[in-house]
Amino acid sequence: MDGLAEQQTLEPTLLDHMRADILDEYNQEHSHPWIIGFSGGKDSTLVMHLVFEALLSLPPSARRRTVHVVANDTLVESPLVVQHMVDSVNEIGEAAQVFGLPIVTQITRPKVDQTFWVNVIGRGYPPPNRSFRWCTDRMKISPTSKYIKEQVDAAGRVILLLGVRRSESSQRSASVGRYDTEGRLHQHNDLQNCMVFRPIVEMHTDQVWDFLGNNEPPWGGTHLRLIGLYRKASGGECPVVTSMEDIPSCGTSSSRFGCWTCTVVEKDRSLEGFVEWGHDEFGPLLDFRDWLASIRNDPNRRQARRRDGRITVTTTGALVPGPFTFQTRSEIFDRLRETERQVGHRLLADDEIELIYSIWNTEMASQGNHKSLEIRQLGGGALR
């Protein structure tokens, strides 16, 4: 075994230290509830595993504080990944009830007026890129932050447990390093009265996999489903995001689990990996995503004016195009419904369709076009 492998082998002292930290923090005299940001990926799963074990090790009288397990579904998650996340959250919740643990599970989702399709098809937003990443705040940060703020209002203060690790990347290391002098907890950048606890911050990736591969989850079952997802996709999770500082971790050039509609990345390597492993049903999703990225900057598909009516020109005299034209939005709508038929499950919810038509009607009326759209008349089609 070479020096690097020896360095990254999980030593009992490190694991013991993490377990002791978790128990010591939970046993503090204050009553601040815990909130675990759970994505279903390897790091948040490890945090959940250790916390579940810690609660089991305590007598019922010592389990004084509630632990909220909060996952986020953007409604356009990679299908296999979101199913794994939902299944895991359900398994954790069911096991917690059986063991009498003070665990509450919650899956947050964006409001209907902030979903990906309402913004792209309804309002004509171009799909996100690195300079206009409008999706993260609306679909990831806001829903989860709202839940956290509700717990702060109820309890006065909360502790947010995140599966961040120093060795994830140089950028992550720099971010983590800013709080090294603050002790075990530090104040969240954006959420008042929310303290952040990073119990696995010193672990290396190999150590995470070593633990998950050799320890069955205390809520039952196995970590093999998770390990299989990573093996097929060569992916890393897009974690639960509660701060603009975390945005670079969502939509990077690496293979990451995330939204199948993500056009911030050049290619969706994780979804491609699932298709290569035999999940041919996801091929149409890849085709749709690539087409959506290809039309983003086509000037013939964009209106000259922005949604507020302004025309924007850069200092060099270049026009900054506005939203997609109605014709393009209609084409996206029709292609998405066809993709639904190809993959065999819904991609666009009824309340999203209803709001999309409402937005179209309002915009057409404001432009002097009084022809009203009726959902019943349009059926599976769209604006012509």
The b-or-e profile of 229-252 (16+ CB within 10 A means b, else e) is bbebbebbbbbbbbbeebbebbbb
pTM: 0.84
Give me the pLDDT at residue 43, please.
Answer: 96
Between strands 236-237 and 256-257, the pairing is parallel
- The CATH architecture of the domain made up of 3-113+134-253 is 3-Layer(aba) Sandwich (3.40)
Report the alpha-carbon distance of residue 49 to residue 65 in Å, rounded.
Answer: 17
Using CB atoms within 10 Å of the CB of residue 3, give its burial: 0 to 12 exposed, 13 to 18 middle, 19+ buried: exposed
CB within 8 A of 49, min separation 6: which ones? 211, 212, 215, 217, 218
Give me the pLDDT at residue 274, please.
Answer: 87
Give me the pLDDT at residue 320, please.
Answer: 74
Name residue 323's amino acid: P
Phi, psi values for residue 264, rounded to 5° = -70, -35
Give me the pLDDT at residue 369, please.
Answer: 61
Report the alpha-carbon distance of residue 74 to residue 92 in Å, rounded.
Answer: 21
Low-confidence ranges of the chain (pLDDT < 70): 1-12, 169-182, 234-256, 308-309, 312-314, 317-319, 368-384
Phi-psi region of 23 (alpha: psi -120 to 50; beta: other; left: phi over 0): alpha
Give me the pLDDT at residue 272, please.
Answer: 86
Beta bridge partners of 129: 132
DSSP 8-state secondary structure symbol assigned to residue 69: E
Report the alpha-carbon distance of residue 379 to residue 334 in Å, rounded.
Answer: 11
Give me the pLDDT at residue 9, please.
Answer: 57
Domain boundaries, the chain: 3-113+134-253
Give me the pLDDT at residue 142, please.
Answer: 96
Which of 105, 78, 373, 44 lies closest to 255, judged by CA?
Answer: 78
Give me the pLDDT at residue 154, please.
Answer: 97
